[in-house]
Structure 1
Amino acid sequence: MSPPRPHFLVLTFPLQGHIAPALRLARRLLAVAPDVLVTFSTTEAAHQRLFPAKRQQEEDGRGDGDGDGGRLEFAPFSDGTEGGYAGGSDAGAFHAYMASFHAAGARSVGALVDALAARGRPVSRVVYTLMLPWAAVVARGRGVPSALYWIQPAAVFTVYHHYFHGHAGAVAEHRRRGYPSSVVELPGLAPLAVGDLPTFLTESTDPADYFHAVFLTFRDLFDTLDREAPKATVLVNSCRELEVGALAAVGPHDVLPVGPVLPSGDETSIFKEDGARYMEWLDAKPASSVVYVSFGSLATMAREQLDELLLGLEEGRRPYLLVVREDNKAALTGEAEMGARLENGLVVEWCDQVRVLAHAAVGCFVTHCGWNSVAESVASGVPMVGVPKVSEQSMNARLVERGWRVGVRARVDGGGVLRAAELRRCVEEVMGDGAAAAEVRRMAQEWKRVVAEATGNGGSSYCNLVGFVDSARSVS
């Protein structure tokens, strides 16, 4: 009797910035090992938004496969709610949702693992993203190995590790003094300004903070890693070549850089795209001429910020593609006024960012510096203007500007608004005719080559992922 095929259960939090890298990893596992099985799972509400056609198939009894001969399946878990988290500014409601997510999620995933085993599809390895520390506990209770999929750079993992292993007091003292430019030293890392540390470690430690539940989740996550025996396995969505120093300082865990994990085809999103309109628009533009502007799937945009963006982009006289999500449309002016202002650009609600960044017309990416966006831009060789706001985005911007020298970081005013003049200055620094801009573009192309080699067959990230699959095969 042949041994069971390796089966990976990939679990993720129901946000686009978590779903995208998790689903990419699921498909990448299938690509590097034709004998493996993968089940992808997020909450029921997110599942329904992501896969409405699959939901109909399930209701019709037609299965939940993905056209891979059943190798990839989709099975949601419950977060204890009917419609997921509704958003809003009520911290209490968010904290209540997180408590429900943790408790109900653990019960539901446990039942899912049992159900898969009963179907003759036993899970051989659970892979979970940042916000699911309980997934490792569920796996351990069933004798199944688990691995954390860290969807941020290794440098950020290292910061969190050292914070929760003896350095929280030093960070808290700097924060208490109110000096964001104060320098904190963590083992193995270059000195960091406190203001560049993840905001969940500098602001959300306060129980009154909106994201305090996120801080507690990260604390539990690193406590969970410490309990893994003989040591935790951590997959990082980065490559060795990008983060040599950080990877040498990550602590006692078995850390495997397997990225940047990019999509292998069209992506599934919880947001509705504007079709092919923007691609046709890009096709008509000269090479490296377009400024692409997107602040990701979460950031909100006030009317003042949108006005400054449009002013700076129009005065820059370069063609631009600006993403303004539907939930940010309150910042838009009337259709007629908006149309009159868009002399050089196109505004869309959402787009396939990887396709946009790969387009020859795109010469610059103005980004919030979420790690998915940064990794996609580096992999595409597109210089960046960083406008970080929350979480690890300032750390990512630091890597962009100082670590890899593929972009610049914009300065915002006291209210956090990127002004038009600053936007024009930064875009010129990466798209202009000067020697500094030329060097940024040269470095962007060099890192594009490095990432392509790392993720290609035989590259460092490719080999790490194959080794991870082989380790699951040996125990399945």
Structure 2
Amino acid sequence: MQQMGTQHVMVIPFPAQGHVNPLMSFSKRLTQHGFRVTFVNTDFIHKRVVSATDEEVNLEGSAVRLVSVPDGLGPMDDRNDLGSLFLAILRVMPSAIEKLIRDMNGGSEKISAIVADLNMAWALEVANEVGVLKGAVFCPCSAAVFALLDSIPKLIQDGILNDNGFPIKKGVFQLSPAMPIIMETTNIPWCCIGNTAVQKTMYDYIRKFMYGAHLTDWWFCNTSSELENGALSLCSKILPIGPLLMENGDDQLRSVGQFWKEDLSCLSWLDHQPPCSVIYIAFGSFTVFDPNQLNELALGLDLTNKPFLWVVREDASGSTKITYPDDFKGTRGKIVIWAPQQKVLGHPAIACFVSHCGWNSTMEGVANGVPFLCWPYFADQLFDKTYICDEWKVGLGFDLDEKGLISRWEIKKKVDQLLGDENIRGRSHKLKEMVVRNIAEGGESYKNFIKFEEWVRK
């Protein structure tokens, strides 16, 4: 039962790991300030989250309540097929969200405000129709990507995109001279996934949720002004509230939201490694590897002759069973299915982070002062690599060989180069100090959060 006078916020993430995690961090922060939160996953994701949650965690009576609604797909459908997922979401979820809000508002737990993932911002339309007029959108990607989505009408007007969202010609463009990122038309997020039909579906979905986003003036982004001053200047409506991190310590909600159970044995393994010695390799929840590339990565880790902690999901090779090359020794390393990444990156044994450059991983690496070796998979990860390597200068990228692979020798070369460069490590530590100040009391991100909290309470 909701306590008298307690504000109740409904939080709606997009059904993907990189979206659930930061919104769970946002929700935890709300509860620390006395709010109740109803966290709405899809049924499919809810089951994964509950099954991955440590058995000792008791969610009964928690200030964050997990509920779920259908996503419109069947149990055997491929939810990595984004075109099908977007169509199903719009077909089923708006009415399901509406019913959930009506049921809550008809009882003792009336909704004070909605916080929707940017990709679910259509939910603000639904909320307005049933009388919940306070809302915010939260972007788990960079402010640069948020600004790109908001600039679609101007990109069409300037002749960069046609009315269907496709580039009129290949090439580079810049949203603003103040932004360091030079964007490739071929890397626009909705133009580099699937075939033309899927891309058109994605673009239509983006236009739908951007319409919803404009129903509120509260646009949050998991970033800070030191990291993305140019993008924030271009789109002043975006309020930085990052880096959003789960607090360490005895927090029963810390691991809630993970799709795989965290293997905590890697932390005790790290305790036995020398300071600043371990290569941490993790590619998020979506990246899929060609078996030949997986082999080169394994053999490259052997070549470095350094301890490594490697996260290899069960589906890291798609439908192909994961196998390692016969000559892969791996004696200096530890391989896990999923890791408590924030705690890993904060461990003194970590020397560098081989990353797919997803924005959450980027924020966690930056907030812990860890240098990067950048291995982007697709979409906005390519923009994030530009920030890491060219703008902030806290990492290096890999070069492909004549077969289109990152070879084992390239891996060893870049590991040696990165770990031998004290300037990169020094810049990483300075960047950490700058961004962490933002979330401390009195910091810009902290103040933006407090402004929202006060607005909801009015």
Structure 1 position 103, deviation (Å): 2.2
- For residues 78 and 246 of structure 1, the distance between their equivalents in structure 2, rounded to whole angstroms, comes to 35
Determine if contact 1:40/1:74 at 8 Å carries over to the other structure: yes
Match of 1:48 in 2: 47
- The CA RMSD measured in Å over matched residues stands at 2.8
Q: CA, structure 1 residues 244+190, in 2 after alignment: closer, same or farther (shift >3 Å)?
A: closer
Give the 5 Å matches for 1:359-378.
Answer: 359-378=347-366
- Please say if 1:288 is aligned against 2:288: no
2:285 to 297, 301, 305: 297
1:389 to 369, 373, 377: 377
- For residues 303 and 129 of structure 1, the distance between their equivalents in structure 2, rounded to whole angstroms, comes to 34
Q: CA, structure 1 residues 460+43, in 2 after alignment: closer, same or farther (shift >3 Å)?
A: same
- Please say if 1:276 is aligned against 2:275: no
- For residues 217 and 29 of structure 1, the distance between their equivalents in structure 2, rounded to whole angstroms, comes to 29
Structure 1 position 348, deviation (Å): 1.4
- Deviating more after overlay: 371-380 vs 128-137: 128-137
- Please say if 1:319 is aligned against 2:291: no
2:444 to 460, 467, 472: 460
- Deviating more after overlay: 101-110 vs 414-423: 414-423
SS at match of 1:242: coil
Determine if contact 1:184/1:191 at 8 Å carries over to the other structure: no
- For residues 148 and 457 of structure 2, the distance between their equivalents in structure 1, rounded to whole angstroms, comes to 32
- For residues 409 and 203 of structure 2, the distance between their equivalents in structure 1, rounded to whole angstroms, comes to 35
Q: CA, structure 1 residues 139+198, in 2 after alignment: closer, same or farther (shift >3 Å)?
A: farther
2:334 to 346, 369, 390: 346
- Deviating more after overlay: 420-429 vs 370-379: 420-429
Determine if contact 2:172/2:183 at 8 Å carries over to the other structure: yes
Q: Deviations over 1:30-51 (max 9, x none)?
A: 12x12x2111111011112212
- Please say if 1:470 is aligned against 2:454: yes
Q: Give the residue type in structure 2 aligned to 1:462.
A: Y
Determine if contact 2:281/2:354 at 8 Å carries over to the other structure: yes
Number of aligned residue pairs: give it.
443
- For residues 110 and 168 of structure 1, the distance between their equivalents in structure 2, rounded to whole angstroms, comes to 35
Structure 1 position 381, deviation (Å): 0.7
Q: Deviations over 1:219-262 (max 9, x none)?
A: 22223334x2xx531111112222222111015x3x22111111
Match of 1:83 in 2: 75
User: Where does structure 1 lack aligned partners over 5 or more consecutive residues?
Assistant: 57-63
1:104 to 92, 96, 112: 92
Match of 1:140 in 2: 128
Q: CA, structure 1 residues 107+422, in 2 after alignment: closer, same or farther (shift >3 Å)?
A: same
Q: Deviations over 1:315-348 (max 9, x none)?
A: 111111111111136453369x47x621322221
Match of 1:425 in 2: 413
Q: CA, structure 1 residues 316+85, in 2 after alignment: closer, same or farther (shift >3 Å)?
A: same
- For residues 19 and 133 of structure 1, the distance between their equivalents in structure 2, rounded to whole angstroms, comes to 15
User: Where does structure 2 lack aligned partners over 5 or more consecutive residues?
Assistant: none
Q: CA, structure 1 residues 414+16, in 2 after alignment: closer, same or farther (shift >3 Å)?
A: farther
- For residues 339 and 309 of structure 2, the distance between their equivalents in structure 1, rounded to whole angstroms, comes to 10
Determine if contact 1:237/1:257 at 8 Å carries over to the other structure: yes
Determine if contact 2:308/2:333 at 8 Å carries over to the other structure: yes
2:115 to 127, 135, 146: 127
- Please say if 1:443 is aligned against 2:433: no
2:246 to 259, 263, 275: 263
Match of 2:147 in 1: 158
Determine if contact 2:263/2:338 at 8 Å carries over to the other structure: no
Determine if contact 2:263/2:336 at 8 Å carries over to the other structure: no
Determine if contact 1:291/1:363 at 8 Å carries over to the other structure: yes
Match of 1:306 in 2: 294
1:72 to 64, 79, 89: 64
Determine if contact 2:356/2:374 at 8 Å carries over to the other structure: yes
SS at match of 1:235: strand
- Please say if 1:183 is aligned against 2:183: no
Determine if contact 1:383/1:444 at 8 Å carries over to the other structure: yes
- Deviating more after overlay: 165-174 vs 458-467: 165-174
SS at match of 2:68: coil
Determine if contact 1:102/1:132 at 8 Å carries over to the other structure: no
Q: CA, structure 1 residues 129+383, in 2 after alignment: closer, same or farther (shift >3 Å)?
A: same
Match of 2:36 in 1: 37
Give the 5 Å matches for 1:173-252.
Answer: 177-178=169-170, 182-190=171-179, 192-195=181-184, 198-203=187-192, 207-208=196-197, 210-226=198-214, 228=215, 232-250=217-235
- For residues 75 and 164 of structure 1, the distance between their equivalents in structure 2, rounded to whole angstroms, comes to 36
Q: CA, structure 1 residues 165+443, in 2 after alignment: closer, same or farther (shift >3 Å)?
A: same
Structure 1 position 272, deviation (Å): 3.2
SS at match of 2:39: strand
Q: TM-score, normalised by structure 1?
A: 0.85
Q: CA, structure 1 residues 193+257, in 2 after alignment: closer, same or farther (shift >3 Å)?
A: closer
Structure 1 position 147, deviation (Å): 1.0
Q: Deviations over 1:8-30 (max 9, x none)?
A: 10001221111111111110111
- For residues 298 and 368 of structure 1, the distance between their equivalents in structure 2, rounded to whole angstroms, comes to 10
Match of 2:138 in 1: 149
SS at match of 1:139: helix
- For residues 242 and 444 of structure 2, the distance between their equivalents in structure 1, rounded to whole angstroms, comes to 9
Determine if contact 1:46/1:270 at 8 Å carries over to the other structure: no
Structure 1 position 192, deviation (Å): 4.3
- Deviating more after overlay: 283-292 vs 451-460: 451-460
- Indicate the structure with greater helix content: 1
Q: CA, structure 1 residues 397+172, in 2 after alignment: closer, same or farther (shift >3 Å)?
A: same
Q: TM-score, normalised by structure 2?
A: 0.88
Q: Give the residue type in structure 1 aligned to 2:382.
A: S
Determine if contact 1:312/1:421 at 8 Å carries over to the other structure: yes
- For residues 178 and 194 of structure 2, the distance between their equivalents in structure 1, rounded to whole angstroms, comes to 22
- Please say if 1:113 is aligned against 2:128: no
Determine if contact 1:319/1:345 at 8 Å carries over to the other structure: yes
Determine if contact 1:170/1:184 at 8 Å carries over to the other structure: no
- For residues 196 and 175 of structure 1, the distance between their equivalents in structure 2, rounded to whole angstroms, comes to 6
Structure 1 position 273, deviation (Å): 3.7
Q: Deviations over 1:374-421 (max 9, x none)?
A: 000001110001111212001111111122111112223466532222
Determine if contact 1:292/1:322 at 8 Å carries over to the other structure: yes
SS at match of 1:143: coil
Determine if contact 2:8/2:37 at 8 Å carries over to the other structure: yes
